[in-house]
């Protein structure tokens, strides 16, 4: 099995007693190692303990992807990736954000309780202003408001994400706090839930692994691609000669071994004592990653060959959420004087 599944409890016959969690992921092509270790592993694990709702956030993607055919293809690819990695449609709800229009309605209402100054201070907004200076659209500024609405519409209290989402989550809490103070207690303040790898560094060993930086390891990609990406990883930059002792604590390759086998301490020791070289350690990591994701990769290919199956899961997910999204909107409209 490719992800650490908790031992299966008896299937829950209803979700009434299970607290609700929510997370969203952008349809940005295939899943990388940072997504899996930082978030998706937790999605899989937590679907056994919570009423779990997972959303492919295509509205959010529109703030930087403007090709309709590409967005449609990537949305389905992301759904297939998540199912291949272990999301079970009988244990969780997987859907596409734009299939539940209540998200944008609540986002509009949240816009009216969110000071612009909070949004202008958001780190990702400041960063995007630098990286896409010709495309600083209003959606980019309002991005965290929609994220807050995604979570709040289902009154989810916990949100499995990577550490890069900490500022967005803080803003979500501030937005619902402001709403609750103005219109009466309505939403819980959502808390982030992290994995043991809340920030996975990319192959450059310096920046967070991210598709936009191009430093990813594409876990469901072709084994040849995975090997190439792993072999390109920057290790301990101070270890010049094969006989130099390494510093596993600063080597990204050594750190990643923690997640792919019980013998990571031996591997780290090998580096520290120069018993093994960086190339050996990288080859071993590549082998293990390829092996670890082999079943998921097969399932991914299989699912993409049956797009109707994937689309069916997404449609059923959006339908299942209709009553709770509508109930929240009725409550909110009433509290805000709209009905
Ligand atoms: P995104 O692709 O930006 O929608 O990210 C999907 C999920 O993966 C979010 O919960 C992110 O916080 C998480 N994530 C993305 N990149 C990393 C990374 N390099 N390390 C840890 N978590 C990450
Ligand atoms: N901003 C998140 C990311 O880039 C995606 C996201 C949208 C999200 N809405 C969410 C994450 C709600 C958690 C909860 O990864």
Residue 6 has pLDDT above 70, yes or no: no
The predicted structure's pLDDT at residue 52: 98
> What percentage of the chain's residues is helix, strand, coil (to nearest 5)?
55, 10, 40
The predicted structure's pLDDT at residue 16: 57
pTM of the model: 0.94
Bridge partners for 159 per DSSP = 192
CA–CA gap between residue 126 and residue 284 (Å, rounded): 39
Q: Kindly identify the ligand whose nearest atom is closest to the C-alpha of 123.
A: 2
Residue 216 has pLDDT above 70, yes or no: yes
Task: Specify the CATH number for the domain of residue 243.
Answer: 1.10.240.10
Note whether 82 and 138 are same-domain residues: yes
* Ligand 1 centroid – CA 111 distance (Å): 25
* Ligand 1 centroid – CA 244 distance (Å): 34
Residue 22 within a domain: yes
Note whether 253 and 154 are same-domain residues: no
Q: Is 163 a catalytic residue?
A: no
Q: Is 282 a catalytic residue?
A: no
Q: Give the active site residue among 208, 228, 283, 335.
A: 208
Q: How many domains does the chain fold into?
A: 2
Mutate to test the pocket of ligand 2, among 34, 55, 58, 123 (most ligand atoms within 8 A of CB): 55
- Answer whether 164 contacts ligand 1 (Cβ < 6 A): yes
Residue 207 within a domain: no
The predicted structure's pLDDT at residue 214: 94
Residue 66 has pLDDT above 50, yes or no: yes
* Extended beta strands in 37-179, E state: 51-56, 92-96, 158-160
Provide the domain limits for residue 233: 223-292
Residue 209 within a domain: no
The predicted structure's pLDDT at residue 13: 43
Residue 277 has pLDDT above 50, yes or no: yes
The predicted structure's pLDDT at residue 250: 86
Residue 10 has pLDDT above 70, yes or no: no
Sheet containing 20-25: give its strands across. Answer: 92-96, 51-56, 20-25, 158-160, 191-193
Q: Is 208 a catalytic residue?
A: yes
């Amino acid at each position: 099995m490719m992800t650490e599944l908790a031992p299966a409890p008896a299937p829950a016959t209803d979700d009434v007693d299970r607290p609700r969690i929510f997370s969203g992921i952008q349809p940005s092509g295939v899943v990388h190692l940072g997504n899996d270790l930082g978030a998706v592993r937790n999605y899989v694990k937590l679907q056994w303990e919570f009423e779990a709702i997972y959303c492919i956030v295509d509205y959010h993607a529109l703030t930087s992807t403007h090709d309709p055919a590409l967005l449609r293809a990537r949305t389905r690819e992301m759904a297939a990736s998540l199912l291949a990695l272990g999301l079970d449609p009988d244990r969780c709800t997987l859907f596409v954000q734009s299939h539940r229009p209540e998200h944008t309605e609540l986002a509009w209402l949240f816009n009216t309780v969110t000071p612009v100054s909070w949004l202008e201070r958001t780190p990702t907004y400041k960063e995007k202003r630098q990286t896409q200076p010709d495309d600083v659209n209003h959606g980019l500024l309002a991005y965290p408001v929609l994220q807050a609405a995604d979570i709040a519409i289902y009154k989810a209290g916990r949100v499995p994400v990577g550490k890069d989402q900490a500022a967005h989550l803080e803003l979500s809490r501030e937005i619902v706090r402001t709403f609750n103070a103005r219109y009466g207690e309505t939403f819980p303040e959502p808390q982030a839930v992290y994995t043991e790898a809340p920030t996975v560094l990319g192959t450059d060993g310096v920046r967070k692994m991210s598709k936009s930086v191009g430093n990813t390891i594409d876990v469901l990609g072709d084994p040849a691609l995975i090997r190439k990406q792993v072999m390109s990883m920057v290790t301990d930059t101070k270890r010049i000669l094969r006989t130099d002792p390494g510093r596993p604590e600063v080597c990204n390759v050594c750190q990643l071994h923690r997640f792919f086998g019980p013998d990571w301490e031996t591997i780290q020791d090998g580096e520290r004592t120069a018993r093994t070289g960086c190339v050996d350690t990288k080859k071993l990591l590549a082998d293990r990653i390829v092996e670890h994701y082999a079943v998921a990769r097969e399932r991914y290919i299989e699912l993409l060959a049956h797009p109707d199956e994937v689309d069916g899961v997404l449609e059923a997910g959006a339908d299942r959420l209709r009553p709770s999204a509508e109930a929240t909107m009725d409550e909110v409209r009433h509290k805000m004087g709209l009905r």
